[in-house]
Structure 1
Amino acid sequence: MKNKFLILFLLLTAFAFGQKTTFKIKYSEKLAVFIFLQNLSEDYPENVFKTEFIKSKYNNEHYKDIISKFNQLNIFYSFRFEEYPYGSKKNMQTEDILKKNMIETETLADFKLRSMGIVPNKTLSDLAEYISVFTPIYNELIYNPNKDKFEKQIVEITKYASDNQAEHYFETGLLFYNSAWDASIPFEIAFYPLPNSKGFTAQAFCNNFISAIQTDLESYKDLFSVMLHETYHIIYDEQSLEVKTEIDGYFKENKSNCSNYAYQLMNEALATALGNGYVYEKLDGKVDPNDWYGRKYINLIAKQIYPLVTAYIEQKKPIEKNFIDSYIKIYEENFPNWINELDNIMTYRYVLTENEKDFSLIRQLFRYRSRTEYDSAITESSIEKMQNTPLTKVVIISKNSKEKIALLKRKFPELKNWKVNANKEFSEKFLLEDKSQLIILNQKEATIEALFKLLK
């Protein structure tokens, strides 16, 4: 008998609010089909889902038309929690809420009812229809051929988490981050099968962790440590406004030129040190000798701060000013030039340009991004908006150079004595008072890529 909604309950004691926090491990068919459809899009790179679909009988104009219509749905709206320090709390994303509702509801009718008002009704109705049409296709191509292995994995993962006292790691995170969790809200953990693959995926949002797991996965250390890594992002995000404001103040008070970019990196650095470092070591009995993260900046800083993080965990101390100052010092002493490396600082960027094609060019040049803002005007108001963020500030001038340069000099005190020929191409970089970098490109004939290379 096919179990479309396999739900196994794993109870973890977290002692938040003096109650038990419940972690529910399950398979969500709606979520799996939604992600299947996303992976069939022309915009997505080659993947196992697309491979299976292309060689199937469903690879025809009728179903490709539905995939195209699905890809054109706009379910991507967001808003920022304005009272929190910039970047300290994740923006609310409507896509995340829709995926959350897919996990928590049992039928498409329930999903539509729960999701009313998040996106336009026509968009929601079309989304549900496309998921309905592709559900039997997904089951035939992906789920049913892997059903036995996958359901066995869910049982084993649940037992592994219970045997290794997962509640301890959740509780550790709450204390370390000086955060809290309402125990009446459960964590919903949704897995789905990933056949013919050598890795798994991981994402966290709201009270959810989702992961595609390869069907031949037998060791769960890596999966479990990554699951906790993502859980720590949620715990960090749920710090109170007071805690986040204090932490923001500690970084701003620190005199190091590295303090801003250390701050931008901290969320991933801490989650990696905790999940991929501390949790993995407890599970395996020794520190993982391999890379902890696939990006060098996160991997290297996480390993450098690991002794500091574990010392706080062992002493049951939460993050406070001394921790932040020590973290910044480690960053500055070990990686002083990171604040000048474009691959690092362009991860957090605010771009002003009057040529909207520049946005896609920059995305191609600097594919890894954490926080991005774009504006297609170079005006007093757009510059002021940019100045109110701690992001790397990029201004690309392609016309009226003399006027735009004069405007920048008026708005940035650091440019007061800056002398430059507006009629010639140039690339300039300045460290601002807020410890962010200002990059100014004056474009005449050269490409954006060529101008960025001049900064290296």
Structure 2
Amino acid sequence: MKKWLILTSLCLLIQPAFAQNIGFQFKISKPYCIFNFLEASIYSHTTSRTLQQFIDQKTAGDKEFAQLATDFSHIQLDYQFKREEFPALRRQIRSTYDLIDIALVNSSTIAEFRDRIIGILPNSELEKLITIMQSAETYYDRIIWKDNEAKLNAQRIALEKYAAQCSESFTKINRFYNSCWIKEMPFVVALYPIPGASGNSTATPHANSLCIGVLTDETDHVGRIGVVLHEMCHVLYDEQPSDFEHKLEGYFAENKSPYSQFAYNFFDEGLATVLGNGWAYKYLSGELDPNPWYDNEYINGFGKALYPMIEEYIAGNKQIDQDFVNKAIDLFGKTFPNSITDYGILLNRVAIYNDADSGPAIDEVMNGVGKYFQLTNSHFSSPILDPIALEQLKTGDQTQLIIVDRNHQATLKELKKLFPELSKVKMIPNTIYAFFDRKKRPVIMLYATDKTNLDSLLKEMKTRKYLDQTKIIQNK
């Protein structure tokens, strides 16, 4: 531990020198495009809805492709590991999924990708993944690549023109975050095509690899660069040294506002939005983007509320400090006074419990919840009655979302012991139960006859929007 602390201090000392001339490389990795294509075919919550619909239209009735997608969904890609020196409320849990995406981005062929990830997945699963990707390439070429490769390359050339300004923006933003970055490590921006001029696109960061969906006929290249820098901001937030992360978390903990935790939950996305889609857009174009900056009312609203303060800090070469945090909490409360009971807020940072018994089954549940709610910080436990899961139900301080879709009798019996609020309530299948427990934690239980009823319960929550504190049964 002492060695680690010494290295962290060294990193902080050399960080300003490293904050210069960071490279931005814009590239197209066909292996990543094929992988993203497969993810979209199984409706992964990180993929574009527009791309999902496009694939559905082009593969309707194709049983062989449907089987290919099903086989892909059964491969476990997410093995997790923990960095315990970082605060529990930050991204302490990391995943092999990031390593796989990084390998995809840096590979030119499927064979090269295979060689890059040897040892990450079991060989049997690696062989299945490579075989599926090779088979999917035929579909990808016909459905997307043939008509859109040239358009995507034109988009790459247009975006590359902003590489120097991206580097300049990095220098200013990195100073604000007080992050540690290595000068020789560029950001690699991997583009994948979404056919058309309008629609939904997505982007995800994986260390220095930024995966960005590009509409093939779009013309707002400054806006797309804003997305690139938005994802870069997530990476810089993750790369703050551990001692600084603990200090920031302490600032939120010391603030007694009832909105403190909610502001903390949205801090990462709020900062990425105001910096990437707000400040950087103006830095590149000379004016603020008049359109929404993010497709989520809370993230968009929080980002826009933060803008004047961000402009002041960036102009003054100031880093995030306690005064910034306190003002951010105050801004969140003033902007969203009803947020304390909003399901969309409550599920932003959530522990999810279910009896899913495999990686694909867990993904199915997570994608189902992610279809309706933004899951910025989530943790999954299975089975519900596992001793570790039960301990988390007792002690975890985030929202507790319990999805009971099997093993009903034993699970409900144990939950009534844990939560006296449920002890005298008649349990009715396909019902939403929600309340604040004695620790003032939001607890939400979805009692579904089976997993097929989960979607309707989540949709009901989305429609109702707010938790009704006057009753435990929400949808009766």
Tell me which interval the TM-score lies in, with the shorter structure as reference length.
0.7 to 0.9
Aligned pairs for 1:230-241 (under 5 A) are 230-241=231-242
Give 5+ residue unaligned stretches, structure 1.
1-13, 410-417
CA distance in 2 between partners of 1:146 and 1:205 (Å): 25
Match of 2:380 among 370, 373, 378: 373
Q: Distance in 1 between matches of 2:399 and 2:68?
A: 40
Partner of 1:156: 158
The equivalent of 1:127 in structure 2 is: 129
Pairs within 5 Å for 1:63-102:
63-89=65-91, 91-102=93-104
The answer for the alignment partner of 2:204 in structure 1 is 203
SS of 1:330 mapped into structure 2: helix
Letter in 1 for 2:236: I
Partner of 1:390: 397
* One-letter identity of the residue aligned with 1:421: K
| Aligned partner of 1:113 among 115, 139, 145 | 115
Q: What is the identity, as a one-letter code, of the residue corresponding to 2:95?
A: Q
Does structure 2 conserve the Cα–Cα contact (< 8 Å) formed by 1:260 and 1:390?
no
Deviations 1:28-85 (A, max 9, x none): 011111222333348896422343345xxxx755554434322322222223323321
**Higher alpha-carbon deviation: 446-455 or 137-146:** 446-455
Preserved contact between residue 24 and residue 163 of structure 2 (Cα < 8 Å): no
Q: Which residue of 1 aligns with 2:292?
A: 291
Do the aligned partners of 1:27 and 1:192 also contact (CA within 8 Å) in 2? Answer: yes
C-alpha distance in 1 between matches for 2:146 and 2:333:
52
Q: In the aligned structure 2, how far is the partner of 1:37 from the partner of 1:403?
A: 39
1:38-437 matches, within 5 Å, as 38-41=39-42, 46-54=52-60, 61-89=63-91, 91-162=93-164, 165-199=165-199, 200-352=201-353, 360=365, 363=369, 366-370=372-376, 371-377=378-384, 382-394=389-401, 399=409, 404-408=415-419, 421=424, 427=433, 429-430=435-436, 436-437=441-442
Q: Is the 8 A contact 1:353 1:378 kept in 2?
A: no
User: Which residue identity is paired with 2:171?
Assistant: E
- SS of structure 2 residue aligned to 1:326: helix
Does the CA-based 8 Å contact 1:16-1:180 persist in structure 2? Answer: no
Q: CA deviation at 1:17?
A: 2.5
Q: CA–CA distance in 1 between the matches of 2:394 and 2:277?
A: 35
Matched with 2:34 is 33
Q: CA deviation at 1:341?
A: 1.3
Q: How far has the Cα of 1:327 moved from its partner?
A: 0.9
For the structure 1 residues 178 and 423, does the alpha-carbon distance in structure 2 shift closer, same or farther, using more than 3 Å as the test? same
CA shift at 1:404, angstroms? 4.7
- Tell me, what secondary structure is at the counterpart of 2:266? helix
Aligned residues: 427
Q: Structure 2: how far apart are the matches of 1:431 and 1:314?
A: 44
- What's the CA shift string for 1:264-289, capped at 9, x where partnerless? 11110110111111011222322222
* Kept after mapping to 2: 8 A contact 1:179/1:235: yes
Shift of 1:231: 0.5
Alignment CA distance shift 1:343-1:316 (3 Å): same
Distance in 2 between residues matched to 1:52 and 1:124, nearest whole Å: 27
Within 1, Cα distance between the matches of 2:256 and 2:154?
54
Query: Superposition RMSD on alpha carbons, in Å?
Result: 3.6
Aligned equivalents of 2:223 and 2:338: distance in 1?
31
Contact 1:229/1:272 (CA < 8 Å) preserved in 2?
Answer: yes
Does the CA-based 8 Å contact 2:274-2:304 persist in structure 1? yes
Structure 1 residues 332 and 141: alpha-carbon distance in aligned structure 2, compared to 1, 3 A threshold: closer
Per-residue Cα deviation, 1:302-337 (whole angstroms, up to 9, x for no partner): 111111121111111111111111111112233232
Of 68-77 and 238-247, more deviation after overlay is shown by 68-77
Q: Is the 8 A contact 1:105 1:111 kept in 2?
A: yes
Classify 1:303/1:385 alpha carbon distance in 2 versus 1 (closer, same or farther; 3 Å).
same
User: Is the Cα contact below 8 Å between 1:86 and 1:390 reproduced in 2?
Assistant: no
Summarize the Cα distance change of 1:252–1:386 in structure 2 as closer, same or farther, 3 Å threshold.
Answer: farther
Identity of aligned residues (%): 27
| 421-430 or 61-70, larger mean C-alpha shift | 421-430
Judging changes above 3 Å, is the alpha-carbon distance between structure 1 residues 141 and 243 closer, same or farther for their aligned structure 2 residues?
A: same
TM-score, reference length from structure 2 = 0.78
The 3 A distance-change label for structure 1 pair 133 and 427 is closer
Residues of 2 paired with 1:18 and 1:349: CA distance? 34
SS at structure 2 position matched to 1:92: strand
Higher mean displacement: 301-310 or 210-219: 210-219
Deviates more, 1:359-368 or 1:313-322: 359-368
Query: 1:159 & 1:26 partners in 2: Cα distance?
Result: 13
**Which structure's CA Rg is the greater one?**
1
Q: Which amino acid aligns with 1:89?
A: R
Q: Supply the distance in 2 between the matched residues of 1:250 and 1:113 (Cα, whole angstroms).
A: 45
CA distance in structure 1 between the partners assigned to 2:270 and 2:155 by the alignment: 30
> How far is the alpha carbon of 1:233 from its aligned partner?
0.3
User: What residue is the counterpart of 1:6 in the other structure?
Assistant: none
Structure 2 SS opposite 1:188: strand
Per-residue deviation, residues 91-150 of structure 1 (Å, max 9, x unmatched)? 322222112112213333332222111111111122122222333442343223223332
CA contact (8 A) 2:31 2:113 kept: no
Query: Do the aligned partners of 2:19 and 2:175 also contact (CA within 8 Å) in 1?
Result: no
> Which amino acid counterpart does residue 80 of structure 1 have in structure 2?
K
**2: CA distance between counterparts of 1:118 and 1:436?**
37
